[in-house]
Amino acid sequence: MSDWGINVIFQGQNFLRLLEGLGVSMRIAVVSVLISSVCGIFLGLLMTSRYVAVRSLCRSYLEAVRIVPLLVWLFVFYFELTKVLHLQLPAEFVADIVFSIWGTAEMGDLVRGAVTSLPAHQRESGLAVGLTRWQVYRYVILPQAVRRLLPSAINLVTRMIKTTSLVVLIGVVEVLKIGQQIIEVSILKVPTASFWVYAIIFFLYFIICWPISLWAKHLEKRWQ
C-alpha cells in the first residue's frame, strides 16, 4: 500500500497537522476580515465626506496599500519595523495587522462605491423627515449600501482567505508550511507526495471558499 502516494496524507498525524495549519490560516483570515469590515465601513463613509482633505487622506491610504505588493508590506512590518523599533512582533500578529490594513482599504473602497451609487435623493429624503446626518447613514444609506456591496465584499473575503498563504514567507507555520514539511520527510519514500499534499491543500481551500462564493451568488440574485 505504501506506493499509494495519497497515504502520505493519512500517515501518523499528517492530516491532523494540515488541519491545524489550516486553522492558523483561518484564524488570521477571520480576525482580519472582522477588523476590515468594521474599519472598512468607517473608511468608506469618510471617503464620501464633504471635506476634500478627509477624502484625499483616505484616498492616499488606499493607493499606498494598493501600490505596494502585499508581500512587501508583510516584509516591511515583520523585518524592517522590528529593526527600526527594536521590538520583535510575532509573525502571526504581523499577519493580522497587515491583512487588516489591506482588507480595510479594499473594504473601504467597496463601501464608498456602494454609498455613492445610491441616488442623492435617498439622502435628502432622510434629511427631509428630520433625521440627523448620522441617522441618515444609519437607517437609510448603510442598509442599502450593504445590500449592494455584499456580493463584492464576500468575494473580497475569499480573496483574503486565499491570500493568507503568503504569510508562510514571514515564517508563520500554516497549512502551506506544514504541507511542505510533510513533503520534505516523505519525498524519498513516496515520490508523488508533493502532488497529493498540494491536492489536499487545494481541496481544503476549495471546501472553505466555494460555499462562500455560492452564498454571494445567492445574495446577489435575491437583492438585485
Partner 1 sequence: MKETEKILLEVHKLKKNYGNKEILHGIDFSVHRGEVVVLLGPSGCGKSTFLRCLNGLEEIQSGSILLDGSIISDGKAEWYAIRQKIGMVFQSYDLFPHMTVIENILLGPLKAQKRKKNEVEKQAAELLERVGLLDRKDDYPAQLSGGQKQRVAIVRALCMNPEIMLFDEVTASLDPEMVREVLDVMKELAQQGMTMLIVTHEMNFARSVADRIVFIDEGCIVEESEPEQFFTAPQTERAQRFLDIFSYEN
Mapping DSSP onto H, E and C, the string for the chain reads: CCCCCCHHHHCCCHHHHHHHHHHHHHHHHHHHHHHHHHHHHHHHHHCCCCCHHHHHHHHHHHHHHHHCCHHHHHHHHHHHHHHHHCCCCCHHHHHHHHHHHHHHHHHHHHHHHHHHHCCHHHHHHHHHCCCCHHHHHHHHHHHHHHHHHHHHHHHHHHHHHHHHHHHHHHCCCCHHHHHHHHHHHHCCCCCCHHHHHHHHHHHHHHHHHHHHHHHHHHHHHHHC
Does residue 133 bind partner 1 (CB under 8 A)?
Answer: yes
Task: Name which of residues 147 to 166 contact partner 1 (CB under 8 A).
Answer: 147
CB of 51 to partner 1, least distance (A): 15
Stretch that binds partner 1, among 17-25, 55-63, 127-135, 161-169 (CB under 8 A): 127-135
Q: Per CB under 8 A, does 132 bind partner 1?
A: yes
Q: Which is nearer to partner 1, 2 or 224 (CB)?
A: 224
By CB atoms closer than 10 A (0-12, 13-18, 19+), residue 131 is middle
From residue 168, give the alpha-carbon distance in Å to each of 22, 161, 217.
12, 13, 31
Cβ nearer to partner 1, comparing 1 with 120 = 120
Q: Is 211 in the site for partner 1 (CB under 8 A)?
A: no
Q: Judged by CB, which is closer to partner 1: 65, or 140?
A: 140
Which of 34, 68, 129, 212 binds partner 1 (CB under 8 A)? It is 129
Comparing CB distances to partner 1, the nearer of 87 and 130 is 130
Beta carbon of residue 120, minimum distance to partner 1 (angstroms, whole number): 9
116 interacts with partner 1 by CB under 8 A? no
Calpha distance 99→34 (Å, rounded): 11
Based on CB atoms, which residue is closest to partner 1, 140 or 201? 140
Number of residues that bind partner 1 (CB under 8 A): 19
Shortest distance, CB of residue 55 to partner 1, whole angstroms? 19
Min dist. Cβ of residue 138 to partner 1 (A): 8
Asked whether position 143 contacts partner 1 by CB under 8 A, the answer is yes
Using CB under 8 A as the binding rule, whether residue 49 contacts partner 1 is answered as: no
List residues binding partner 1 (CB under 8 A): 119, 121-122, 124-133, 135, 139-140, 143-144, 147
